[in-house]
Amino acid sequence: MAAGPSTLTVHALRLQPGQELLSSLLSFVEERKLRAPFIITCVGSITKATLRLANATAENTNEVVHLQERFEIVSLVGTLNRDAHLHICLADKEGKTIGGHVMGDLEVFTTAEVVIGEANDLEFGRVMDDRTGFPELVINSRSKQA
């Protein structure tokens, strides 16, 4: 499923030490009423995270890790609509990486500098997909939503 093309608006924010990354991003999106937001880039560090690993399914959702140490954010990607779908890659003090689906509990250590894009002509939503067992992205043209 695809839609587009679309014009782009760019938003930037910096999160402070102790802020929770996912809830802060969702609040930012809600306050600005963004309808098709996505992560362009993010750099920073965190002190803890809860991630769902790649082996998880709708029936086997216990493939979750709770991390509690200092990590650099080396990648953050995904869509930020109401049911955000974000994946993160983190590097520890030795440069070893771990990544997965963001469940939350991402506490900022020093900073999180985030650039968010919004596709102005689109709207993102999520609908349960019986094939995957998860709510999956639905992309609509805003002209159809008017």
- pLDDT one-digit tens code per residue, 12-61: 999 999 999 999 999 999 999 999 999 999 999 999 999 998 876 667 66
- Pull the structure tokens for residue 76: 């953050």
8-145 CATH choice from 1.10.10.10, 1.10.1530.10, 3.30.1330.80, 1.10.357.10: 3.30.1330.80
> Could you give the CA distance from residue 112 to residue 90 in angstroms, rounded to a whole number?
13
Indicate the pTM of the whole model: 0.87
Instruction: Give, for 98, the enclosing helix (H) or strand (E).
Output: strand 97-119
Confidence label for 5 from pLDDT (cuts 50, 70 and 90): confident
